[in-house]
């Protein structure tokens, strides 16, 4: 039974072809395409309002120099948000439960922020490795600690997103299995677990949105340190 719980995290395939690319590109089909009409429908208006809200929230910690990253960060936020929410539907696959994918998103963007800082202000970027006023005997140890904490940032981004979504999916499957198993023998207890499952689903919807926001927000904070 333990293997069946983790089968939901394996990438599905059809005729030996992995379907993870389809599951990653499908959320883009849900977004209505913009046109040149002066009057738009309610869905397009809601889409524009949501994109403006997300962009405003992500750009608040950044200076004007970092606003050129608005397209990348907003697109990443909407991409992660749609994938996380669609992964809560029955018989679907969530690509963001794969650590390899999350690291593939986190590492290049973190490296881009780091290289931006080394190019624009190399002294300030390297100065973060050694706090001012550090005693001389502690300099080697602090440089090693700060370097390790800097290099572990993309790993922390990927592991945080993977762990939160994986734990939520496992809890939902465990509670739903308990609900169906208890229904023939103890219907009252089964209804109680069904209520818990409903509340847990609401919680996981919130977690899916929060984790997408935290992932991109931390990237914007890393960018702010280097511009």
Q: Is the pLDDT of residue 215 over 90?
A: yes
pLDDT at 36: 66
Mean pLDDT score, 153-179:
89
**Beta-carbon neighbour count of residue 38 at 10 Å?**
5
Please compute the mean of the pLDDT values over residues 146-170 and round it to a whole number. 89
pLDDT at residue 127 in the model:
72
Q: For residue 189, what are the contacts with CB-CB under 8 A and spacing of at least 6?
A: 182
Query: Alpha helix locations (H) across 87-186?
Result: 99-120, 122-127, 139-151, 153-182
| Mean pLDDT lowest among 86-100, 109-123, 127-141, 178-192 | 127-141
What per-residue confidence (pLDDT) applies to 216? 93
Chain segment 125-156, per-residue pLDDT in tens: 777 777 777 777 877 888 888 888 888 999 99
Q: Which two three-digit tokens encode residue 108?
A: 């290049």
pTM over the 0.85 mark: no
Cα-trace Rg, the chain = 22
Q: pLDDT confidence of 1, banded at 50, 70, 90?
A: very low
- Distance between CA 29 and CA 194 in Å, rounded? 32
pLDDT at 214: 93
Q: Report the pLDDT averaged over residues 48-72.
A: 86
Mean pLDDT over the full length of the chain: 82
> What confidence tens digit (pLDDT) does each residue in 24-54 have?
677 676 666 666 666 667 777 788 888 888 8
**57: confidence class by pLDDT, cuts 50, 70, 90:** confident
Can you tell me the mean pLDDT for 80-87? 87
In this structure, of 32-46, 169-183, 195-209, the range with the lowest mean pLDDT score is: 32-46
Q: What is each CA distance from 175 to 3, 14, 93, 114, 187, in whole angstroms? A: 16, 29, 19, 43, 14
């Amino acid at each position: 039974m333990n293997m069946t719980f983790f089968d939901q995290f394996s990438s599905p395939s059809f005729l030996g072809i992995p379907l993870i690319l389809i599951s990653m590109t499908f959320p883009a089909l849900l977004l209505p395409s913009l046109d040149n009409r002066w009057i738009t429908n309610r869905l397009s208006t809601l889409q524009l309002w949501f994109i403006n809200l997300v962009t405003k929230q992500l750009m608040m910690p950044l200076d004007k120099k970092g606003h050129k990253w608005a397209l990348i960060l907003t697109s990443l936020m909407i991409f992660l948000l749609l994938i996380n929410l669609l992964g809560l539907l029955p018989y679907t696959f969530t690509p963001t439960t794969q650590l390899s994918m999350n690291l593939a998103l986190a590492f290049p963007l973190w490296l881009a922020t780091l290289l931006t800082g080394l190019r624009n202000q190399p002294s300030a970027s390297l100065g973060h490795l050694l706090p001012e006023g550090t005693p001389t005997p502690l300099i080697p140890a602090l440089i090693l600690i700060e370097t390790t904490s800097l290099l572990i940032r993309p790993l922390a981004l990927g592991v945080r997103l993977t762990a939160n979504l994986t734990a939520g999916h496992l809890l939902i499957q465990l509670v739903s299995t308990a609900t169906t198993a208890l229904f023939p023998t103890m219907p009252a207890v089964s209804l109680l677990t069904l209520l818990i499952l409903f509340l847990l689903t609401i919680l996981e919807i919130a977690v899916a949105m929060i984790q997408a926001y935290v992932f991109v927000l931390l990237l914007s904070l890393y960018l702010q340190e280097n511009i």
